[in-house]
Structure 1
């Protein structure tokens, strides 16, 4: 019974470690930490990334061990290096069930896994088993010299630029997989409702981006939360706000309708703004205001609308977050270049 409780405790602590490291990653972009992303970003701090990934579990089990010893729960320290293994298993399962497998550099991951397991086991055997070994020995200058040497090595490696070819290849493969799947499942419906190539790619970009951040397992949990609370939620593949439980196909239909309606609204908005005749412009402006609530500035004669502005307006209506808008716009441009390289289609035709 004690061994069973020990394993359960270690598994829970391993899962907690997963969420802690994800939180650290999310809040550490200023120091170069990289997350798995749809977009290719330069690794400006390779040494930092390696150290965070390898040493975080080791530091975590050291801190947990100290806490357990202080609480006189010495029995839970037994084989505490297993927390790192449970953490790695949970991370692997999470990445696979959320379709992130195509984005993973498996060779690098295997290196991380081996390093984490070996370093965790070494620290457990050499430091954690004996309480007295948990505290650093600063009685000699040797320790301090080695700290300086390690800091120097870290600084050198942190300035190395790594090739992005493998990353670009994996992310292109991921985009091809996601686009191909969604095009097969929903392409006919999208083609029936959208003629403009650029608008289609915005729709697919939103679909891919939402799926990346709200994978199937998360959407399943959102459906359960909706059934329990009966409150309005954003549900389905395209994360449409609804009071009713909907499937992915329904969310795509509602999402496409929302995108098309906003597109038509913005195009009409731009047309009204370009009308030079004051009386005609006011008449059309008032009609549009009544129908959609859009306020058009009086000083908008000869307004030259930009394609980017219309694109931004469509995406902003879907999600006003600044990063969301930029990344979906960037993703839609990537899709156009990849699948319609010779297209000169614009949103404002």
Structure 2
């Protein structure tokens, strides 16, 4: 029994290696960066690429591993080696469950890919691997290699088939709405309290800055087009930014990984990004503590952005500025912006910051210039 169990453990480890191999190929074929699954509604469209990646990669991987095992005379390890593909898809499902990505995944497609990949690998196992068929073409049967040309031609045609992106968009929207609902129920109270505190400090700094200006043309202040109190609109905006970053960070660092980072920080004393907002710290942080620190940083970045700009600052530019200061990776900024545009409150879009505008239009009474 134990040799059988040991063999299946070996196959499961190979399945994990296959999982990361497929992810590596997919990641660098599409230029992904920070996240392993990007909020890109067009990623389901490349039918041919997905077919090759999900189905033929396991077959090629299994054949190559078998060849290595045969070379070292470890033939006994090749027994039922096609099962590594099944274990790979099992691990993929567990990985997505651990990352709270169930609503993002097209499970029908995954089951279809798994079924075809396992069947294709089994056929390769039975007709190529067990008979130890040479991997390289026989010059006497070179005509058979014409099938490679035919296959490439069919692949080119197949890859022109594109699924309607609305199906992926529906899954992305459902995932984001679900995470937003969960996080609002859990963290909205602490977010509101912290924002109120930081907003008060923000306005005090802005007041001090305005009062210190000696020349009217050097005045810098904030206003918005709808002439509503700045607090109301800016608070909505900041909350939307926080939840956007939170959803993106949770996507990349789910609960289990955050707990591990906290333990590693406590044991080693080294700096780790921690909590649901992934704030860098040398001391262990809870999710709530990371939220407070993140909000403080976001307000600091927003204030610095106001001082740096010279004419006009739109909502989208401010989102990009805050996102880039939080994490400079382009993929990260793009994901935060995508999430923000899905969840944002309609009032956030009314936020427009004008600097050196002498009319004082829209400047609410909370900014004391006297």
> Quick check: 1:120 aligned with 2:111?
no
Partner of 1:22: 23
Q: Any gaps of 5 or more consecutive residues in structure 1?
A: 274-299
> Quick check: 1:210 aligned with 2:249?
yes
Partner of 1:199: 238
Q: TM-score, normalised by structure 1?
A: 0.83
- 2:282 pairs, out of 218, 221, 243, with 243
4+ residue segments displaced more than 6 Å = none
Instruction: Measure, in 1, the Cα distance between the counterparts of 2:241 and 2:314.
Output: 16
Number of residue pairs the alignment of both structures matches: 313
Alignment check: 8 A CA contact 1:10 1:83 kept: yes
Q: Aligned runs of 1:46-85 on 2, under 5 Å?
A: 46-85=47-86
Partner of 2:186: 185
Instruction: Measure, in 2, the Cα distance between the counterparts of 1:101 and 1:27.
Output: 23
Cα distance, 1:22 vs structure 2: 1.1
Cα distance, 1:306 vs structure 2: 3.5
> Quick check: 1:324 aligned with 2:332?
yes
Partner of 1:345: 350
Note closer, same or farther for the CA distance 1:82–1:42 as it changes in structure 2 (3 Å cut).
closer
Alignment check: 8 A CA contact 1:65 1:128 kept: yes
Alignment check: 8 A CA contact 1:36 1:103 kept: no
Instruction: Measure, in 2, the Cα distance between the counterparts of 1:106 and 1:231.
Output: 39
Cα distance, 1:142 vs structure 2: 4.3
1:2-23: CA deviation from partner (whole Å, max 9, x where unpaired): 3233222111111111111111
| Coordinate RMSD, CA, aligned | 2.3
Larger relative CO (CA 8 A, sep 6+): 1 or 2? Answer: 2
Q: Any gaps of 5 or more consecutive residues in structure 2?
A: 196-231, 354-362, 364-370
Instruction: Measure, in 1, the Cα distance between the counterparts of 2:312 and 2:93.
Output: 50
Partner of 1:266: 305
Instruction: Measure, in 2, the Cα distance between the counterparts of 1:133 and 1:21.
Output: 24
SS of residue in 2 equivalent to 1:27? helix
Alignment check: 8 A CA contact 1:199 1:347 kept: no
Cα distance, 1:201 vs structure 2: 0.9
Cα distance, 1:263 vs structure 2: 2.1
Note closer, same or farther for the CA distance 1:136–1:305 as it changes in structure 2 (3 Å cut).
same
Cα distance, 1:133 vs structure 2: 5.2
